[in-house]
Copies of this chain bind each other. A is one copy, B any other.
């Protein structure tokens, strides 16, 4: 009847402590025990330890003994979002407690990519709308000087203009191909500056 991996509830105070820790991690550093005590109004470090033990036992965090500030969140960590595939029957609260399917925001970047090889570009205009890329979208680009036909690339045109287009090839010559039947292909000279790896759109 008892399962270890069941979703254990937190008391109001435990949640308050957890939220403070989350905030601190988000803003910069995990707090020290005494910082937590001070924030929560506790007079003793022992009290904080009791809370950390409780949160740890309930699977919300992990600590690497002895190391200062070594609080690691396990559930609802910063930069992680539960990924739901299907919503189980009769569960009004969704299945989001599921620790397995967490979408890491870092996953958006190509794995192992050097920070210096990535940049973001605001999409202007509707020339790629048939590829599902809309005006205002943010395009994450990995820098590279070459690309393959069919790739969506960021290209630099003559006058400092950057544009996102399919890389096309016709009679051995590369050109820029929009994904919008109202737009014409661009045969002007251009430089490949990178390849599209991610599209982000905020509503």
Contacts and interface: CB of A to CB of B under 8 A. Distances in A.
Given A79-B105, A105-B79, A106-B79, A115 B22 contact: yes
Number of copies: 2
Contact of A103 (B103, B138, B193): B138
A82 interface: yes
Interface string A13-25: 0000000001000
A31 to B, nearest CB: 10
Interface stretch (A36-44, A84-92, A167-175): A84-92
The 5 closest A-B pairs by CB, nearest first: A76-B115, A199-B201, A105-B105, A132-B134, A83-B120
Given A76-B115, A86-B161, A89-B160, 6 more contacts: A94-B119, A94-B143, A132-B137, A197-B202, A198-B202, A199-B199
